[in-house]
Amino acid sequence: MSDSGPFYFCLKHHTVEGKDGCKAADRLGPYDTREAASHALESAEERTKAWDEDPKWKDD
């Protein structure tokens, strides 16, 4: 696989893929680097937590 992006994280196989990987519904991205794609789940978790704690998004 080429070392130039874009890169995606496959949710089905838990691997980093290039543009010709699994279908879009099964992956996160695009990411500019292979390293960023390899941390896709952690990044998504951090963003979700930040949104959950953002007072502008509370439905109280």
Q: What is the pLDDT of residues 14-26, one digit of tens each?
A: 999 999 999 999 9
d(CA 56, CA 47): 14
Peptide bond into 55 cis (omega under 30): no
Confidence of residue 60 (pLDDT cuts 50, 70, 90): low
The pairing of strands 15-17 and 7-10 is antiparallel
* Residue 22 maps to a domain: yes
pTM of the shown model = 0.79
Task: Provide φ and ψ at 21, rounded to 5°.
Answer: -85, -150
Express each pLDDT in 14-57 by its tens digit.
999 999 999 999 999 999 999 999 999 999 999 999 988 888 87
* Residue 40 maps to a domain: yes
Q: How many domains does the chain have?
A: 1
Full domain range(s) for residue 46: 7-57
